[in-house]
């Protein structure tokens, strides 16, 4: 034991001495991020967030920070970056940038090489007691920087980012783990499902923690996905009341179908419904001027100079952001402890029981540990269940799995993908955009194939055969290639767009499908089409079994990397209404894990109906109620079905508290 203590002490001294000759600067913690944005979609690869120059082809303003140097002298500079187009293009990448130290710009251009994240040498620099570091973007085409590593011995860090995570902790002044107060219920994932779960449980009196990896509550809904799914055909009519508050709909009109907007397209697609928003009461607490400023720092004069189309887009962003502020206020008022910008990456278990989950703050690198009696995986990617060792499914199940009529003969990796909004607007000085020959890394559209239109719709979707949990950055980047390539063709070869400018493009993807955690029941197509009645029927789904696949023409020109889809609309898979069993909402393997959101226990075919926002919110309400029963009787989610189903039915009949 004494020898072990001596060795540990020697190691700590070694690390201290090493740190004195090394400096690590995490870019997401830059004091002034300029025009660069914080992105987390490579976390699975590098265990960190990073800054990205998302300028849509126009160089962005420098990101800057000032650091103190405890050991001045000559340092070698390494930068964690790579050529993000390398999976498709064997040449210099478009994400070029340079690093500046005070008034000196290091000569090497970075971000144009490297097939994966790694450390690129940028040169050497002499540092005094303080230095201002800047990231200088050269193209606006999504150059990215994870961290800057300065060392006196010119030894590059390891490119094993899992191992390098230990180095990050040593250099991080906030390297200790923050153990939060244990909760009755820990909800991971702040989408509509997560918010509805947390709000329901908290209003019944549980101590609830909500952990989310975005800066705005609402998940895909906060990013722009509409709140579809009926809330007036429910087996339990009072389910959906809390969801209305979460999505901003008028609770008093939830069961009035006239309060819903109906849309039917030319293919005979089942009617879609989106709740009419109601901004009264708590929404009035939101400070509009500060909210508008948080969007893009526009002055009133600059805002007035925008075109009507631009103002519409600004208003869309404003309303989404406002809804997120309202959600946060609702949850905090109910007593929910909210932790945003936290990426959960580790789960501690004892047997089949989760003890805690750990996450990293995507802005500061701080480590947090969340312990609790019960946990809810509303991540959409099934992250908590996956890390805890629960059985999960991904891709399409074979026909043999459940005998589903529309399932493929053999299982495969096909799945629904990721979408992002983009818009172009007419301008007097619209500028230029590179020709396709100048951006060979982008999708090479042509007279033979391009998509006409100055903005996106749901059909813009990619990542149809990739793991959207582990390859989120790759899938998002393919979407960027599609937008840039198609826009280059429109701007330069279609007359009506010559005075348009690409002005808006999301950079965080809105996912439709990922891992699905297996529960005591795996809902399938036969259950829904056959209207199988389960004794634990709970929330109601009304969306059709709407599944997306690559358009054949798009697949012809861009095989494997398709970015335009169609949806299944066959009348035999219309749903109208189906009451989903409660047993789809907890893991069969982990005894204190509920599963909500699109990672609930359903087949790929059945996911097509339950995955829409309002429906997921109602599922969250059911989970919140079940958690209350678990807490009161000290039982597991499975015990709610086996011993306390009558109590759950009573709660669903009454509906959750609205205050």
pLDDT of 428-463, one tens digit each? 889 999 999 999 999 999 999 999 999 999 999 999
Q: Spell out the SS3 assignment of 598-643.
A: HHCCECHHHHHHHCCHHHHHHHHHHHHHHHHHHHHHCCCHHHHHHH
For residue 480, is pLDDT > 80?
yes
Q: Which residues, other chains included, contact 258 with Cβ-Cβ below 8 Å and sequence gap of 6+? A: none
> What is residue 146's predicted lDDT score, i.e. its pLDDT?
98
**Cα-atom radius of gyration of the chain, to the nearest Å?**
25
> What is residue 209's predicted lDDT score, i.e. its pLDDT?
98
For residue 476, is pLDDT > 70?
yes
> What is residue 185's predicted lDDT score, i.e. its pLDDT?
98
Separation of alpha carbons 292 and 259, rounded Å: 28
Query: What average pLDDT does this structure show over 624-649?
Result: 98
For residue 312, is pLDDT > 80?
no
Question: What's the CATH code, domain 179-412+512-542+577-654?
Answer: 3.50.50.60
> What is residue 305's predicted lDDT score, i.e. its pLDDT?
60
Q: Which residues, other chains included, contact 645 with Cβ-Cβ below 8 Å and sequence gap of 6+? A: 535, 536, 582
> Which residue in 384, 558, 370, 425 sits closest to 481, CA to CA?
558
Among 266-280, 335-349, 425-439, the range scoring the smallest mean pLDDT is 266-280
Separation of alpha carbons 467 and 513, rounded Å: 9
Query: What average pLDDT does this structure show over 117-133?
Result: 96
HSE-CB of 428 using CA atoms within 13 angstroms? 3
> What is residue 313's predicted lDDT score, i.e. its pLDDT?
62
Query: What average pLDDT does this structure show over 487-508?
Result: 96
In the block, tokens 């009072």 appear at 238
Query: What average pLDDT does this structure show over 589-606?
Result: 97
> Which residue in 652, 646, 446 sits closest to 554, CA to CA?
446
For residue 316, is pLDDT > 90?
no
Element (H, E) at 116: none
Going from N- to C-terminal start, the domains of the chain cover 22-161, 179-412+512-542+577-654, 418-511
> What is residue 175's predicted lDDT score, i.e. its pLDDT?
64
> What is residue 307's predicted lDDT score, i.e. its pLDDT?
64
For residue 634, is pLDDT > 70?
yes
CATH class of domain segment(s) 22-161: mainly beta
Question: With bands split at pLDDT 50, 70 and 90, how would you rate the model's confidence at 207?
Answer: very high
Cβ–Cβ < 8 Å for 75, 23: yes
> What is residue 1's predicted lDDT score, i.e. its pLDDT?
45
> What is residue 72's predicted lDDT score, i.e. its pLDDT?
96
For residue 257, is pLDDT > 90?
no
Query: What average pLDDT does this structure show over 66-93?
Result: 97
Element (H, E) at 201: helix 192-203
For residue 485, is pLDDT > 60?
yes
97 φ, ψ (degrees, to nearest 5): -155, 170
Query: What average pLDDT does this structure show over 561-578?
Result: 82
Query: What average pLDDT does this structure show over 348-359?
Result: 97
For residue 570, is pLDDT > 80?
no
> What is residue 285's predicted lDDT score, i.e. its pLDDT?
46
> What is residue 262's predicted lDDT score, i.e. its pLDDT?
54
For residue 427, is pLDDT > 90?
no
> What is residue 535's predicted lDDT score, i.e. its pLDDT?
98
Question: With bands split at pLDDT 50, 70 and 90, how would you rate the model's confidence at 224?
Answer: confident
> Which residue in 71, 85, 146, 150 sits closest to 115, CA to CA?
85
Report the percent of the chain where pLDDT is more than 70: 87
For residue 276, is pLDDT > 50?
no
Query: What average pLDDT does this structure show over 227-249?
Result: 90
Query: What average pLDDT does this structure show over 63-88?
Result: 97
Query: What average pLDDT does this structure show over 588-608?
Result: 97
Tokens standing for residue 183: 């909760």
In three-state secondary structure terms, 210 is strand
For residue 623, is pLDDT > 90?
yes
Query: What average pLDDT does this structure show over 101-117?
Result: 95
Mean pLDDT score of the chain: 89
Question: With bands split at pLDDT 50, 70 and 90, how would you rate the model's confidence at 14?
Answer: very low
For residue 45, is pLDDT > 50?
yes
Instruction: Express each pLDDT in 136-188 by its tens digit.
Output: 999 999 999 999 999 999 999 999 999 999 888 888 766 688 999 999 999 99
Cβ–Cβ < 8 Å for 185, 206: yes
For residue 309, is pLDDT > 70?
no
> What is residue 171's predicted lDDT score, i.e. its pLDDT?
81
Q: When comparing pLDDT for 21 and 36, which is higher? A: 36
Separation of alpha carbons 295 and 281, rounded Å: 23
> What is residue 252's predicted lDDT score, i.e. its pLDDT?
84
> What is residue 280's predicted lDDT score, i.e. its pLDDT?
40
Question: With bands split at pLDDT 50, 70 and 90, how would you rate the model's confidence at 303?
Answer: low
Cβ–Cβ < 8 Å for 71, 21: yes
Question: With bands split at pLDDT 50, 70 and 90, how would you rate the model's confidence at 64?
Answer: very high
Separation of alpha carbons 134 and 146, rounded Å: 13
pTM reported for the whole predicted model:
0.92
Instruction: Express each pLDDT in 174-195 by its tens digit.
Output: 668 899 999 999 999 999 999 9
Count of beta carbons in the 10 Å neighbourhood of residue 495: 7
Bridge-partner residues for 585, per DSSP?
Answer: none
Q: Which long-range contacts (CB under 8 A, 24 or more apart) does 86-92 make?
A: 86/114, 86/115, 86/116, 87/115, 87/474, 87/477, 88/441, 88/478, 88/481, 88/561, 89/440, 89/441, 91/440, 91/441
Rounded to an integer, what is the distance from CA 639 to the centroid of its chain? 32
Tokens standing for residue 180: 């939060």
> What is residue 618's predicted lDDT score, i.e. its pLDDT?
97
Report the percent of the chain where pLDDT is more than 90: 77
Question: With bands split at pLDDT 50, 70 and 90, how would you rate the model's confidence at 569?
Answer: low
> What is residue 320's predicted lDDT score, i.e. its pLDDT?
75
């Amino acid at each position: 034991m004494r020898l072990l203590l001596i060795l540990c002490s020697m190691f700590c001294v070694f690390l201290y001495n090493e740190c004195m000759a090394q400096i690590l600067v995490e870019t997401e913690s830059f004091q002034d991020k300029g025009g660069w944005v914080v992105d987390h979609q490579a976390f699975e690869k590098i265990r960190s967030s990073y800054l990205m120059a998302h300028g849509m082809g126009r160089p962005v303003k420098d990101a800057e920070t000032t650091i103190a140097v405890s050991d001045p002298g000559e340092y070698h500079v390494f930068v964690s970056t790579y050529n993000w187009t390398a999976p498709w293009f064997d040449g210099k990448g478009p994400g070029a940038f340079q690093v500046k130290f005070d008034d000196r710009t290091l000569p090497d251009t970075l971000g144009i090489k490297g097939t994966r994240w790694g450390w690129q040498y940028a040169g050497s620099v002499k540092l005094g007691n303080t230095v201002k570091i800047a990231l200088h973007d050269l193209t606006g085409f999504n150059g990215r920087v994870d961290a800057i590593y300065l060392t006196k011995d010119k030894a590059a860090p390891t490119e094993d980012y899992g191992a390098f995570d230990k180095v990050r902790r040593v250099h991080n002044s906030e390297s200790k783990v923050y153990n939060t107060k244990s909760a009755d219920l820990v909800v991971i994932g702040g989408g509509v499902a997560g918010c509805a779960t947390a709000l329901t449980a908290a209003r019944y009196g549980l101590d609830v923690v909500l952990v989310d990896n975005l800066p705005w509550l609402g998940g895909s809904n906060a990013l722009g996905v509409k709140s579809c799914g009926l809330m007036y055909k429910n087996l339990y009519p009072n389910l959906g009341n809390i969801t209305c508050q979460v999505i901003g709909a008028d609770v008093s009109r939830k069961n009035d179908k006239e309060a819903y907007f109906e849309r039917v397209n030319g293919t005979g697609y089942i009617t879609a419904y989106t709740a009419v928003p109601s901004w009264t009461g708590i929404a009035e607490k939101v400070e509009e001027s500060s909210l508008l400023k948080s969007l893009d720092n526009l002055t009133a004069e600059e805002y007035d100079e925008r075109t009507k189309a631009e103002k519409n887009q600004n208003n869309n962003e404003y309303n989404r952001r406002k809804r997120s502020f309202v959600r946060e206020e609702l949850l905090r008022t109910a007593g929910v402890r909210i932790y945003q910008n936290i990426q959960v990456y580790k789960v501690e278990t004892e047997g089949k029981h989760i003890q805690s989950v750990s996450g990293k703050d995507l802005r500061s690198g701080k480590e947090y540990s969340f312990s609790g009696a019960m946990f809810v995986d509303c991540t959409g990617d099934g992250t908590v269940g996956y890390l805890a060792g629960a059985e999960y499914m991904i891709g399409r199940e074979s026909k043999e799995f459940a005998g589903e009529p529309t399932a493929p003969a053999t299982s495969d990796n096909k799945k629904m993908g990721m979408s992002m909004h983009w818009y172009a607007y007419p301008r007097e000085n619209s500028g230029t955009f590179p020709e396709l020959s100048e951006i060979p890394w982008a999708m090479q559209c042509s007279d033979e194939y391009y998509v006409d239109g100055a903005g996106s719709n749901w059909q813009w979707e990619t990542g149809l055969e990739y793991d959207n949990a582990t390859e989120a950055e790759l899938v998002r980047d393919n979407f960027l290639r599609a937008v840039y390539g198609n826009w280059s063709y429109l701007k330069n070869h279609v007359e009506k767009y010559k005075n348009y400018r690409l002005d808006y493009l999301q950079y965080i993807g809105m996912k439709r499908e990922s891992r699905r955690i297996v529960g005591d029941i795996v809902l399938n197509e036969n259950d829904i089409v056959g209207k199988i009645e389960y004794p634990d029927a709970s929330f109601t789904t009304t969306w059709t079994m709407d599944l997306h696949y690559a358009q054949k023409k798009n697949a012809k020109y861009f095989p494997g990397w398709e970015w335009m889809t169609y949806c299944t609309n066959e009348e035999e898979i219309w749903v109208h209404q189906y009451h989903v069993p409660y047993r789809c909402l907890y893991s069969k393997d982990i005894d204190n894990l509920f599963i909500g959101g699109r990672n609930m226990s359903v087949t790929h075919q059945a996911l097509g109906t339950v995955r829409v926002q309002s429906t997921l919110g109602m599922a969250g309400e059911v989970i919140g109620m079940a958690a209350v029963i678990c807490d009161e009787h000290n039982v597991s989610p499975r015990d709610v079905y086996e011993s306390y189903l009558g109590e759950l039915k009573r709660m669903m009949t009454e509906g959750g508290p609205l205050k």
